[in-house]
Structure 1
Amino acid sequence: MSISKGVALITGSAQGIGRSIALRLARDGFNVALNDLPDKDAKLELVATEIESLGRQVCIVPADVSVNKQVKEMVDDAVTKLGGLDVMVANAGVVTPASLVSSTVESWDHTFSVNARGPYLCYKYAAMRMIEQGRGGRIIGASSIAGKIGFPHNSSYTASKFAIRGLTQAAAIELGQYGITVNSYAPGAIQTPMTKNMMDESGNVDFTRLIDDPCSRKWMMSLRENVPIKHNGQPEDIASIVSYLASKEAHFITGQCVG
Protein backbone atom coordinates (compact mmCIF):
# COMPACT_ATOMS: atom_id res chain seq x y z
CA MET A 1 0.00 0.00 0.00
CA SER A 2 1.38 3.42 -0.95
CA ILE A 3 1.67 6.20 1.61
CA SER A 4 -1.68 7.90 2.17
CA LYS A 5 -2.23 11.52 1.17
CA GLY A 6 -4.64 11.84 4.08
CA VAL A 7 -8.25 11.08 4.94
CA ALA A 8 -11.27 12.21 2.91
CA LEU A 9 -14.91 12.02 4.02
CA ILE A 10 -17.57 12.19 1.31
CA THR A 11 -21.27 12.52 2.12
CA GLY A 12 -23.89 11.04 -0.18
CA SER A 13 -21.31 8.59 -1.53
CA ALA A 14 -23.49 5.52 -2.08
CA GLN A 15 -24.15 6.47 -5.71
CA GLY A 16 -23.87 9.14 -8.38
CA ILE A 17 -21.44 12.03 -7.98
CA GLY A 18 -20.54 11.13 -4.39
CA ARG A 19 -19.54 7.59 -5.35
CA SER A 20 -17.36 8.86 -8.20
CA ILE A 21 -15.69 11.40 -5.92
CA ALA A 22 -14.93 8.70 -3.34
CA LEU A 23 -13.38 6.40 -5.93
CA ARG A 24 -11.37 9.23 -7.53
CA LEU A 25 -9.93 10.39 -4.20
CA ALA A 26 -9.05 6.80 -3.34
CA ARG A 27 -7.17 6.53 -6.65
CA ASP A 28 -5.46 9.81 -5.79
CA GLY A 29 -4.10 8.20 -2.62
CA PHE A 30 -6.57 9.19 0.09
CA ASN A 31 -8.06 6.83 2.63
CA VAL A 32 -11.82 7.31 2.49
CA ALA A 33 -14.76 7.56 4.88
CA LEU A 34 -18.04 6.86 3.10
CA ASN A 35 -21.29 8.43 4.22
CA ASP A 36 -24.91 8.12 3.23
CA LEU A 37 -28.23 7.41 4.94
CA PRO A 38 -28.32 4.20 7.01
CA ASP A 39 -30.63 2.51 4.48
CA LYS A 40 -27.88 2.85 1.85
CA ASP A 41 -25.47 0.57 3.71
CA ALA A 42 -25.56 -2.16 1.04
CA LYS A 43 -24.55 0.31 -1.68
CA LEU A 44 -21.87 1.78 0.57
CA GLU A 45 -20.43 -1.68 1.13
CA LEU A 46 -20.04 -2.09 -2.64
CA VAL A 47 -18.20 1.22 -2.90
CA ALA A 48 -16.04 0.24 0.08
CA THR A 49 -15.07 -3.01 -1.63
CA GLU A 50 -13.97 -1.08 -4.73
CA ILE A 51 -11.86 1.26 -2.62
CA GLU A 52 -10.22 -1.63 -0.78
CA SER A 53 -9.32 -3.14 -4.15
CA LEU A 54 -7.37 0.06 -4.85
CA GLY A 55 -5.23 -0.59 -1.79
CA ARG A 56 -6.70 2.16 0.36
CA GLN A 57 -8.25 2.08 3.83
CA VAL A 58 -11.97 2.73 4.00
CA CYS A 59 -14.72 2.99 6.59
CA ILE A 60 -18.48 3.54 6.49
CA VAL A 61 -19.98 6.29 8.64
CA PRO A 62 -23.75 6.37 8.01
CA ALA A 63 -25.63 9.50 9.08
CA ASP A 64 -28.42 11.86 8.14
CA VAL A 65 -26.52 15.06 7.30
CA SER A 66 -29.44 17.22 8.38
CA VAL A 67 -29.14 16.03 12.01
CA ASN A 68 -26.58 17.89 14.12
CA LYS A 69 -25.72 15.01 16.47
CA GLN A 70 -25.34 12.52 13.65
CA VAL A 71 -22.98 14.75 11.65
CA LYS A 72 -20.75 15.30 14.69
CA GLU A 73 -20.65 11.56 15.33
CA MET A 74 -19.97 10.90 11.63
CA VAL A 75 -16.90 13.15 11.68
CA ASP A 76 -15.71 11.77 15.03
CA ASP A 77 -16.08 8.18 13.78
CA ALA A 78 -14.13 8.91 10.59
CA VAL A 79 -11.31 10.45 12.62
CA THR A 80 -11.26 7.55 15.07
CA LYS A 81 -11.31 4.85 12.39
CA LEU A 82 -8.90 6.42 9.89
CA GLY A 83 -6.72 8.62 12.09
CA GLY A 84 -7.74 12.13 11.09
CA LEU A 85 -9.57 14.26 8.54
CA ASP A 86 -7.96 16.21 5.70
CA VAL A 87 -10.72 16.56 3.11
CA MET A 88 -14.45 17.01 3.72
CA VAL A 89 -16.72 16.80 0.69
CA ALA A 90 -20.28 17.85 1.60
CA ASN A 91 -21.91 16.30 -1.44
CA ALA A 92 -25.27 14.93 -0.22
CA GLY A 93 -28.32 16.64 -1.69
CA VAL A 94 -31.96 16.29 -2.71
CA VAL A 95 -34.23 17.89 -5.29
CA THR A 96 -38.04 18.08 -5.42
CA PRO A 97 -39.13 20.01 -8.53
CA ALA A 98 -42.27 22.12 -8.15
CA SER A 99 -43.47 25.54 -9.19
CA LEU A 100 -43.28 28.29 -6.58
CA VAL A 101 -47.07 28.42 -6.13
CA SER A 102 -47.52 24.65 -5.96
CA SER A 103 -44.59 24.00 -3.63
CA THR A 104 -45.08 23.24 0.06
CA VAL A 105 -43.42 24.51 3.21
CA GLU A 106 -42.61 20.90 4.10
CA SER A 107 -40.76 20.38 0.80
CA TRP A 108 -38.89 23.68 1.21
CA ASP A 109 -37.81 22.78 4.75
CA HIS A 110 -36.69 19.28 3.75
CA THR A 111 -34.64 20.59 0.82
CA PHE A 112 -32.92 23.18 3.00
CA SER A 113 -32.32 20.73 5.83
CA VAL A 114 -30.31 18.47 3.51
CA ASN A 115 -28.84 20.91 0.97
CA ALA A 116 -27.99 23.85 3.24
CA ARG A 117 -28.03 22.73 6.88
CA GLY A 118 -26.18 19.53 5.92
CA PRO A 119 -23.17 21.31 4.38
CA TYR A 120 -23.18 23.86 7.22
CA LEU A 121 -22.85 21.04 9.76
CA CYS A 122 -20.23 19.24 7.67
CA TYR A 123 -18.20 22.44 7.28
CA LYS A 124 -18.48 23.19 11.00
CA TYR A 125 -17.43 19.83 12.42
CA ALA A 126 -14.77 19.23 9.76
CA ALA A 127 -13.29 22.68 10.48
CA MET A 128 -13.21 21.99 14.22
CA ARG A 129 -11.23 18.80 13.64
CA MET A 130 -8.89 20.36 11.09
CA ILE A 131 -8.12 23.30 13.38
CA GLU A 132 -7.45 20.88 16.22
CA GLN A 133 -5.11 18.80 14.03
CA GLY A 134 -3.17 21.87 12.96
CA ARG A 135 -2.23 20.68 9.48
CA GLY A 136 -4.76 22.56 7.36
CA GLY A 137 -7.30 20.86 5.14
CA ARG A 138 -9.78 21.07 2.32
CA ILE A 139 -13.53 21.65 2.72
CA ILE A 140 -15.56 21.27 -0.47
CA GLY A 141 -19.32 21.65 -0.91
CA ALA A 142 -21.88 20.86 -3.59
CA SER A 143 -23.49 23.89 -5.17
CA SER A 144 -25.01 23.71 -8.67
CA ILE A 145 -25.54 25.68 -11.86
CA ALA A 146 -28.85 26.35 -10.09
CA GLY A 147 -26.77 28.12 -7.45
CA LYS A 148 -25.71 30.66 -10.07
CA ILE A 149 -28.82 30.98 -12.28
CA GLY A 150 -32.41 30.80 -11.07
CA PHE A 151 -34.24 27.75 -12.43
CA PRO A 152 -38.05 27.76 -12.84
CA HIS A 153 -40.03 25.10 -10.98
CA ASN A 154 -37.05 24.55 -8.68
CA SER A 155 -37.15 27.43 -6.20
CA SER A 156 -36.18 25.50 -3.05
CA TYR A 157 -33.31 23.66 -4.74
CA THR A 158 -32.06 26.83 -6.42
CA ALA A 159 -32.16 28.83 -3.19
CA SER A 160 -30.40 26.07 -1.25
CA LYS A 161 -27.57 25.92 -3.79
CA PHE A 162 -27.16 29.71 -3.74
CA ALA A 163 -26.79 29.29 0.04
CA ILE A 164 -23.77 27.03 -0.46
CA ARG A 165 -21.93 29.77 -2.33
CA GLY A 166 -22.45 32.21 0.55
CA LEU A 167 -21.51 29.64 3.18
CA THR A 168 -18.37 28.74 1.23
CA GLN A 169 -17.22 32.33 0.85
CA ALA A 170 -17.78 33.15 4.53
CA ALA A 171 -16.08 29.97 5.75
CA ALA A 172 -13.12 30.53 3.40
CA ILE A 173 -12.44 33.92 4.99
CA GLU A 174 -12.71 32.55 8.52
CA LEU A 175 -10.65 29.40 8.01
CA GLY A 176 -7.83 30.63 5.78
CA GLN A 177 -5.71 31.49 8.82
CA TYR A 178 -5.61 27.78 9.67
CA GLY A 179 -4.47 26.67 6.23
CA ILE A 180 -7.94 25.37 5.40
CA THR A 181 -9.34 26.14 1.95
CA VAL A 182 -13.09 26.13 1.33
CA ASN A 183 -14.51 25.79 -2.18
CA SER A 184 -17.58 24.42 -3.94
CA TYR A 185 -18.44 22.86 -7.28
CA ALA A 186 -21.44 23.80 -9.41
CA PRO A 187 -22.40 21.07 -11.91
CA GLY A 188 -24.91 21.46 -14.68
CA ALA A 189 -27.03 18.44 -15.57
CA ILE A 190 -25.14 15.24 -14.71
CA GLN A 191 -26.32 11.69 -15.43
CA THR A 192 -27.03 10.28 -11.97
CA PRO A 193 -29.86 8.36 -10.28
CA MET A 194 -31.21 11.72 -9.03
CA THR A 195 -31.69 13.00 -12.60
CA LYS A 196 -32.99 9.83 -14.23
CA ASN A 197 -36.57 11.16 -14.32
CA MET A 198 -35.28 14.16 -16.28
CA MET A 199 -33.91 12.09 -19.19
CA ASP A 200 -35.44 11.94 -22.65
CA GLU A 201 -35.61 8.78 -24.74
CA SER A 202 -31.99 9.24 -25.89
CA GLY A 203 -30.64 9.56 -22.37
CA ASN A 204 -30.14 13.31 -22.63
CA VAL A 205 -30.98 15.35 -19.55
CA ASP A 206 -34.08 17.44 -20.29
CA PHE A 207 -35.41 19.60 -17.46
CA THR A 208 -38.22 20.79 -19.73
CA ARG A 209 -39.94 17.43 -19.16
CA LEU A 210 -40.73 18.70 -15.65
CA ILE A 211 -42.08 22.09 -16.69
CA ASP A 212 -45.63 22.67 -17.92
CA ASP A 213 -45.54 26.46 -18.19
CA PRO A 214 -44.80 27.45 -21.86
CA CYS A 215 -42.67 30.49 -20.92
CA SER A 216 -40.57 28.46 -18.51
CA ARG A 217 -40.14 25.71 -21.09
CA LYS A 218 -38.98 28.24 -23.70
CA TRP A 219 -36.48 29.73 -21.26
CA MET A 220 -35.15 26.29 -20.29
CA MET A 221 -34.85 25.21 -23.92
CA SER A 222 -32.80 28.33 -24.68
CA LEU A 223 -30.55 27.63 -21.71
CA ARG A 224 -30.02 24.01 -22.74
CA GLU A 225 -29.28 24.89 -26.36
CA ASN A 226 -26.56 27.33 -25.26
CA VAL A 227 -24.59 24.82 -23.21
CA PRO A 228 -21.09 25.07 -24.75
CA ILE A 229 -20.02 21.43 -24.31
CA LYS A 230 -22.45 19.19 -26.16
CA HIS A 231 -22.26 15.93 -24.26
CA ASN A 232 -23.99 14.55 -21.20
CA GLY A 233 -22.15 15.35 -17.99
CA GLN A 234 -20.89 12.31 -16.07
CA PRO A 235 -20.16 11.95 -12.33
CA GLU A 236 -16.49 11.43 -13.19
CA ASP A 237 -16.37 14.93 -14.69
CA ILE A 238 -17.23 16.39 -11.29
CA ALA A 239 -14.91 14.01 -9.46
CA SER A 240 -11.98 15.39 -11.44
CA ILE A 241 -12.78 18.93 -10.24
CA VAL A 242 -12.97 17.76 -6.63
CA SER A 243 -9.71 15.85 -7.10
CA TYR A 244 -7.95 19.07 -7.99
CA LEU A 245 -9.56 21.14 -5.22
CA ALA A 246 -8.47 18.47 -2.71
CA SER A 247 -4.88 18.43 -3.98
CA LYS A 248 -1.84 20.27 -2.64
CA GLU A 249 -1.68 22.19 -5.92
CA ALA A 250 -4.97 23.95 -5.01
CA HIS A 251 -3.59 25.41 -1.78
CA PHE A 252 -3.98 28.99 -3.06
CA ILE A 253 -7.60 28.62 -4.24
CA THR A 254 -10.35 29.34 -1.74
CA GLY A 255 -13.85 30.83 -1.59
CA GLN A 256 -14.58 29.75 -5.16
CA CYS A 257 -17.55 28.06 -6.81
CA VAL A 258 -16.24 26.07 -9.79
CA GLY A 259 -18.60 25.18 -12.61
Structure 2
Amino acid sequence: MGVAVVTGAGRGIGRGIALRLARDGHAVAVNDLDAGGASAVADEIGAAGGTARAYPADVTDPDAVTALVNQVVDDLGGLDVMVANAGIAQVKPLLEVTPDDLRKIFEVNVFGVVYCLQAAARVMIDRGTGGKIVNAASIAGHSGFDLLGHYSATKFAVRALTQAAAKELAPHRITVNAYCPGIVGTDMWDLIDEQMGARSGAAKGETLEEYSQMIPLGRVQTADDVAAFVSYLAGPDSDYMTGQSVMIDGGIVMV
Protein backbone atom coordinates (compact mmCIF):
# COMPACT_ATOMS: atom_id res chain seq x y z
CA MET A 1 0.00 0.00 0.00
CA GLY A 2 2.84 2.41 0.69
CA VAL A 3 5.48 3.40 3.23
CA ALA A 4 4.60 4.14 6.86
CA VAL A 5 6.66 5.50 9.73
CA VAL A 6 5.53 4.56 13.24
CA THR A 7 7.29 6.30 16.14
CA GLY A 8 7.56 4.73 19.56
CA ALA A 9 6.98 1.37 17.89
CA GLY A 10 9.33 -0.76 19.95
CA ARG A 11 6.54 -1.89 22.28
CA GLY A 12 2.94 -1.34 23.32
CA ILE A 13 0.51 0.46 21.07
CA GLY A 14 3.25 1.45 18.63
CA ARG A 15 4.28 -2.16 18.14
CA GLY A 16 0.66 -3.12 17.53
CA ILE A 17 0.28 -0.36 14.94
CA ALA A 18 3.50 -1.32 13.15
CA LEU A 19 2.45 -4.97 12.96
CA ARG A 20 -1.02 -4.07 11.69
CA LEU A 21 0.20 -1.65 9.02
CA ALA A 22 2.66 -4.27 7.83
CA ARG A 23 -0.18 -6.79 7.53
CA ASP A 24 -2.09 -4.16 5.55
CA GLY A 25 0.76 -4.17 3.03
CA HIS A 26 2.79 -1.14 4.08
CA ALA A 27 6.55 -1.13 4.27
CA VAL A 28 7.05 0.00 7.85
CA ALA A 29 9.81 2.15 9.31
CA VAL A 30 9.88 1.09 12.97
CA ASN A 31 11.13 3.97 15.10
CA ASP A 32 11.93 3.90 18.79
CA LEU A 33 14.38 5.53 21.16
CA ASP A 34 15.30 1.95 22.15
CA ALA A 35 17.25 0.53 19.21
CA GLY A 36 16.80 -3.03 20.45
CA GLY A 37 13.04 -2.68 20.67
CA ALA A 38 12.81 -1.20 17.18
CA SER A 39 14.96 -3.97 15.72
CA ALA A 40 12.93 -6.68 17.44
CA VAL A 41 9.66 -5.38 15.98
CA ALA A 42 11.19 -4.96 12.51
CA ASP A 43 12.46 -8.54 12.72
CA GLU A 44 9.02 -9.72 13.83
CA ILE A 45 7.45 -8.08 10.79
CA GLY A 46 10.06 -9.57 8.50
CA ALA A 47 9.55 -13.04 9.95
CA ALA A 48 5.83 -12.74 9.16
CA GLY A 49 6.58 -11.90 5.53
CA GLY A 50 6.33 -8.12 5.73
CA THR A 51 8.81 -5.36 4.94
CA ALA A 52 10.27 -3.32 7.77
CA ARG A 53 13.42 -1.57 8.91
CA ALA A 54 14.39 -0.25 12.33
CA TYR A 55 15.21 3.44 12.74
CA PRO A 56 16.35 4.40 16.26
CA ALA A 57 15.86 8.14 16.82
CA ASP A 58 14.71 10.60 19.47
CA VAL A 59 11.49 12.37 18.44
CA THR A 60 12.33 15.33 20.69
CA ASP A 61 15.26 16.18 18.37
CA PRO A 62 13.94 17.89 15.22
CA ASP A 63 17.13 17.25 13.26
CA ALA A 64 16.97 13.56 14.14
CA VAL A 65 13.35 13.36 13.01
CA THR A 66 14.14 15.07 9.70
CA ALA A 67 17.08 12.72 9.17
CA LEU A 68 14.87 9.74 9.99
CA VAL A 69 12.22 10.73 7.46
CA ASN A 70 14.78 11.46 4.74
CA GLN A 71 16.48 8.12 5.35
CA VAL A 72 13.16 6.29 5.14
CA VAL A 73 12.45 7.92 1.77
CA ASP A 74 15.90 6.88 0.52
CA ASP A 75 15.61 3.33 1.87
CA LEU A 76 11.97 2.50 1.20
CA GLY A 77 11.15 4.77 -1.72
CA GLY A 78 8.68 7.25 -0.27
CA LEU A 79 6.49 8.25 2.64
CA ASP A 80 2.72 7.84 2.64
CA VAL A 81 1.83 7.56 6.33
CA MET A 82 3.34 9.13 9.44
CA VAL A 83 2.06 7.78 12.76
CA ALA A 84 3.36 10.05 15.54
CA ASN A 85 2.75 7.53 18.31
CA ALA A 86 5.66 8.10 20.72
CA GLY A 87 4.50 9.35 24.11
CA ILE A 88 5.07 9.23 27.85
CA ALA A 89 2.93 9.65 30.97
CA GLN A 90 3.50 10.72 34.55
CA VAL A 91 1.24 10.52 37.59
CA LYS A 92 1.54 13.64 39.75
CA PRO A 93 -0.75 16.25 41.31
CA LEU A 94 -0.54 19.56 39.49
CA LEU A 95 0.70 21.29 42.66
CA GLU A 96 3.76 19.01 42.60
CA VAL A 97 4.59 19.21 38.89
CA THR A 98 8.03 20.71 38.31
CA PRO A 99 9.42 22.65 35.36
CA ASP A 100 11.48 19.57 34.45
CA ASP A 101 8.34 17.41 34.52
CA LEU A 102 6.56 19.81 32.18
CA ARG A 103 9.54 20.15 29.88
CA LYS A 104 10.01 16.41 29.49
CA ILE A 105 6.38 15.46 28.87
CA PHE A 106 5.74 18.35 26.47
CA GLU A 107 8.94 17.64 24.55
CA VAL A 108 7.86 14.06 23.85
CA ASN A 109 4.08 14.33 23.57
CA VAL A 110 3.76 17.73 21.86
CA PHE A 111 7.08 18.81 20.38
CA GLY A 112 7.67 15.29 19.07
CA VAL A 113 4.29 15.31 17.32
CA VAL A 114 5.07 18.69 15.74
CA TYR A 115 8.49 17.56 14.53
CA CYS A 116 7.06 14.38 12.99
CA LEU A 117 4.26 16.34 11.35
CA GLN A 118 6.67 18.91 9.93
CA ALA A 119 9.17 16.40 8.56
CA ALA A 120 6.50 14.17 7.02
CA ALA A 121 4.48 17.02 5.52
CA ARG A 122 7.52 18.59 3.89
CA VAL A 123 8.32 15.32 2.13
CA MET A 124 4.72 14.72 1.13
CA ILE A 125 4.40 18.25 -0.26
CA ASP A 126 7.69 18.04 -2.15
CA ARG A 127 6.72 14.71 -3.68
CA GLY A 128 3.20 15.91 -4.48
CA THR A 129 1.74 12.58 -3.45
CA GLY A 130 -0.50 13.59 -0.57
CA GLY A 131 -0.48 11.41 2.50
CA LYS A 132 -1.79 10.56 5.95
CA ILE A 133 -0.55 11.98 9.23
CA VAL A 134 -1.91 10.23 12.31
CA ASN A 135 -1.22 11.56 15.80
CA ALA A 136 -1.45 9.93 19.22
CA ALA A 137 -3.95 11.72 21.45
CA SER A 138 -5.95 10.15 24.30
CA ILE A 139 -9.24 10.23 26.12
CA ALA A 140 -7.25 12.56 28.39
CA GLY A 141 -7.27 14.98 25.46
CA HIS A 142 -11.06 15.19 25.69
CA SER A 143 -11.46 15.07 29.47
CA GLY A 144 -8.74 16.12 31.90
CA PHE A 145 -7.91 13.44 34.48
CA ASP A 146 -6.83 14.11 38.05
CA LEU A 147 -3.18 13.20 38.76
CA LEU A 148 -2.65 13.27 34.99
CA GLY A 149 -3.20 17.00 34.50
CA HIS A 150 0.01 17.78 32.63
CA TYR A 151 -0.34 14.62 30.55
CA SER A 152 -3.92 15.63 29.74
CA ALA A 153 -2.68 19.09 28.70
CA THR A 154 -0.29 17.54 26.17
CA LYS A 155 -3.10 15.51 24.63
CA PHE A 156 -5.42 18.53 24.42
CA ALA A 157 -2.52 20.19 22.57
CA VAL A 158 -2.32 17.28 20.12
CA ARG A 159 -6.02 17.75 19.32
CA ALA A 160 -5.43 21.44 18.55
CA LEU A 161 -2.39 20.67 16.40
CA THR A 162 -4.35 18.01 14.55
CA GLN A 163 -7.13 20.44 13.70
CA ALA A 164 -4.78 23.26 12.64
CA ALA A 165 -2.58 20.98 10.54
CA ALA A 166 -5.62 19.44 8.85
CA LYS A 167 -6.66 22.90 7.67
CA GLU A 168 -3.18 23.92 6.57
CA LEU A 169 -2.33 20.70 4.75
CA ALA A 170 -5.67 19.96 3.08
CA PRO A 171 -4.65 21.78 -0.14
CA HIS A 172 -1.79 19.30 -0.44
CA ARG A 173 -4.10 16.27 -0.14
CA ILE A 174 -2.67 15.44 3.28
CA THR A 175 -5.14 14.39 5.94
CA VAL A 176 -4.37 14.76 9.64
CA ASN A 177 -6.27 12.83 12.30
CA ALA A 178 -5.66 11.48 15.79
CA TYR A 179 -6.62 8.41 17.77
CA CYS A 180 -7.66 8.63 21.42
CA PRO A 181 -7.17 5.38 23.33
CA GLY A 182 -8.44 4.76 26.82
CA ILE A 183 -7.20 2.15 29.28
CA VAL A 184 -4.83 -0.08 27.33
CA GLY A 185 -3.02 -3.09 28.73
CA THR A 186 0.49 -1.79 28.00
CA ASP A 187 3.62 -0.76 29.90
CA MET A 188 2.33 2.81 30.12
CA TRP A 189 -0.76 1.73 32.03
CA ASP A 190 1.37 -0.55 34.19
CA LEU A 191 3.34 2.57 35.13
CA ILE A 192 0.18 4.58 35.80
CA ASP A 193 -1.18 1.75 37.95
CA GLU A 194 2.07 1.57 39.91
CA GLN A 195 2.39 5.33 40.45
CA MET A 196 -1.25 5.83 41.43
CA GLY A 197 -1.08 2.81 43.73
CA ALA A 198 1.97 4.26 45.46
CA ARG A 199 -0.08 7.35 46.31
CA SER A 200 -3.29 5.61 47.33
CA GLY A 201 -1.86 2.51 48.95
CA ALA A 202 -3.53 0.24 46.39
CA ALA A 203 -1.82 -3.02 45.52
CA LYS A 204 -0.47 -3.66 42.05
CA GLY A 205 -3.32 -4.06 39.59
CA GLU A 206 -6.00 -2.59 41.86
CA THR A 207 -5.95 0.88 40.27
CA LEU A 208 -6.16 -0.58 36.79
CA GLU A 209 -9.08 -2.74 37.94
CA GLU A 210 -10.81 0.31 39.46
CA TYR A 211 -10.44 2.39 36.31
CA SER A 212 -11.52 -0.55 34.17
CA GLN A 213 -14.94 -0.41 35.82
CA MET A 214 -15.54 2.75 33.76
CA ILE A 215 -15.42 0.81 30.48
CA PRO A 216 -18.96 0.05 29.20
CA LEU A 217 -17.67 -2.69 26.91
CA GLY A 218 -16.37 -4.46 29.97
CA ARG A 219 -12.73 -5.18 29.20
CA VAL A 220 -9.35 -3.49 29.10
CA GLN A 221 -8.34 -2.31 25.66
CA THR A 222 -5.59 -4.04 23.67
CA ALA A 223 -2.98 -2.57 21.36
CA ASP A 224 -4.71 -4.40 18.51
CA ASP A 225 -7.94 -2.50 19.24
CA VAL A 226 -6.09 0.77 18.69
CA ALA A 227 -4.14 -0.52 15.70
CA ALA A 228 -7.33 -1.52 13.90
CA PHE A 229 -8.54 2.08 14.01
CA VAL A 230 -5.16 3.46 12.98
CA SER A 231 -5.30 1.07 10.03
CA TYR A 232 -8.49 2.85 8.95
CA LEU A 233 -6.96 6.31 9.42
CA ALA A 234 -3.91 5.24 7.39
CA GLY A 235 -5.94 3.69 4.58
CA PRO A 236 -8.06 4.91 1.66
CA ASP A 237 -11.41 4.48 3.43
CA SER A 238 -10.63 7.57 5.54
CA ASP A 239 -9.75 9.81 2.59
CA TYR A 240 -12.64 12.21 3.34
CA MET A 241 -11.85 12.45 7.05
CA THR A 242 -9.51 15.07 8.46
CA GLY A 243 -9.02 17.15 11.61
CA GLN A 244 -10.64 14.54 13.85
CA SER A 245 -9.45 13.17 17.20
CA VAL A 246 -11.59 10.09 17.70
CA MET A 247 -12.16 8.10 20.86
CA ILE A 248 -11.35 4.39 20.65
CA ASP A 249 -11.79 3.59 24.33
CA GLY A 250 -14.63 1.12 24.87
CA GLY A 251 -17.03 3.94 25.72
CA ILE A 252 -15.36 5.66 28.70
CA VAL A 253 -15.68 9.15 27.22
CA MET A 254 -18.65 9.82 24.97
CA VAL A 255 -19.04 13.10 23.08
Superposition TM-score, scaled by structure 1 size:
0.88
Alignment-derived partner of residue 244 in structure 1: 232
Q: Distance in 2 between matches of 1:224 and 1:193?
A: 16
Q: Distance in 1 between matches of 2:78 and 2:198?
A: 43
- Whether 1:34 and 2:30 are equivalent positions in the alignment is yes
Checking the alignment, whether the CA contact within 8 Å between 2:184 and 2:220 is kept in structure 1 is yes
1:137 aligns with 2:125: no
Aligned twin of 2:183? 189
Kindly provide the CA deviation profile for residues 152-193 of structure 1, in whole angstroms up to 9, marking residues without a partner as x: 111211100000000000000111111111000000010111
Aligned partners of 1:146, 1:47: CA distance in 2, in Å?
28
Instruction: Report how far residue 221 of structure 1 moved.
Output: 9.7
2: distance between equivalents of 1:232 and 1:90? Answer: 23
Cα offset for 1:133? 1.3
In the alignment, structure 1 residue 92 sits paired with structure 2 residue 92: no
| Match runs of 1:55-134 below 5 Å | 55-134=49-128
- 1:19 corresponds in structure 2 to 15
Aligned residues: 241
Q: Which runs of 4+ in 1 moved over 2 A?
A: 53-57, 197-200, 207-213, 220-227
1:7 maps onto 2:33 in alignment: no
Q: Distance in 2 between matches of 1:42 and 1:258?
A: 31
TM-score, with length taken from structure 2: 0.89
Cα 1:57–1:226, aligned 2, differ >3 Å: closer, same or farther? closer
- Output the CA distance in 2 between the equivalents of 1:233 and 1:196: 13
Per-residue CA distance 1:136-166 (angstroms, 9 max, x = gap): 1100000001101011111211100000000
Alpha-carbon separation, structure 2, partners of 1:171 and 1:50: 33
Amino acid across the alignment from 2:65: V
Cα offset, 1:239, TM superposition: 0.2
Report the Cα distance in structure 2 between the residues aligned to 1:45 and 1:247, rounded to whole angstroms.
Answer: 25
Matched, 1:49 2:43: yes
2:183, 2:212 within 8 Å by CA — same for their partners in 1? no
* 2:218 aligned partner: 230
- C-alpha displacement of 1:9: 0.1
Distance 2:101 2:133 in 1: 27
For structure 2, the residue ranges without an aligned partner over 5 or more in a row are: 202-207, 248-255
Deviations 1:191-231 (A, max 9, x none): 1112113449xxxxxx8636549xxxxxx999754421110
- Structure 1: 5+ residue stretches without partners: 201-206, 214-219
- SS at 2:132's partner residue? strand
Q: Is the 8 Å Cα contact of residues 97 and 210 (structure 1) preserved in structure 2?
A: no
Secondary structure of 1:101 counterpart = helix
Asked if the contact 1:7/1:31 (under 8 Å) is kept, the reply is yes
Maintained 8 Å contact 1:138/1:181: yes
**CA-CA distance at 1:35 after TM superposition:** 0.5
> Quick check: 1:153–1:211 contact (8 Å CA) kept in 2?
no
For the residue of structure 2 that corresponds to 1:33, the secondary structure is strand
Percent identity between matched residues is: 43
SS in 1 for 2:13: helix
CA distance in 2, matches of 1:143, 1:119: 10
Instruction: Output the CA distance in 2 between the equivalents of 1:254 and 1:226.
Output: 29
CA contact (8 A) 1:198 1:210 kept: no
CA distance, structure 2, for counterparts of residue 186 and residue 48 of structure 1: 25
Alignment root-mean-square deviation, CA:
2.0
User: What is the rounded CA distance, in whole Å, between the counterparts of 1:221 and 1:234 in structure 2?
Assistant: 15
